[in-house]
Amino acid sequence: MVFRLLVARQGIIDIVYMFVDRTAWGWKLFMGVVSIIAGSYIMMYPVATALMLPRLFVLVLGIWGLVYGVVLLLMAFRVVAGERAYSESLESFSDLS
């Protein structure tokens, strides 16, 4: 029960955060929608999810986790690259004065 609420909550947080930080908004929207759909499916069919489809559920959960991790890594590298460019522009500005 807790897991399904966490998955749905994470999807809502991803979509709301998309409006706060516009970088990689397509991936945030995609992951938010996928998380909400997965959480809703788990809420509607908890017994089927737990008993009848364990292999498929584990496969989907594993793929979701991998994609989510890759998206977070890409966003982290994008932020680091942006901060590096910002610090380089500050250094060049201080050299001018």
Chain-centre distance for alpha carbon 60? 15
Residues 35-66 pLDDT 10s: 888 888 888 888 777 776 677 777 878 888 88
Contact 24, 71 (CB under 8 A): yes
Q: How many domains does the chain have?
A: 1
* Whole-model pTM over 0.75: no
Per the model's pLDDT, the better-predicted residue between 39 and 1 turns out to be 39
What pLDDT sits at residue 24?
74
Pair of tokens at residue 66: 């991998």
Say whether pLDDT at 85 is over 60: no
Pick the residue with more confidence: 97 or 87? 87
Domain enclosing residue 38, as ranges:
2-96
The confidence score (pLDDT) of residue 15 equals 83
Indicate the length of the chain as a whole number.
97
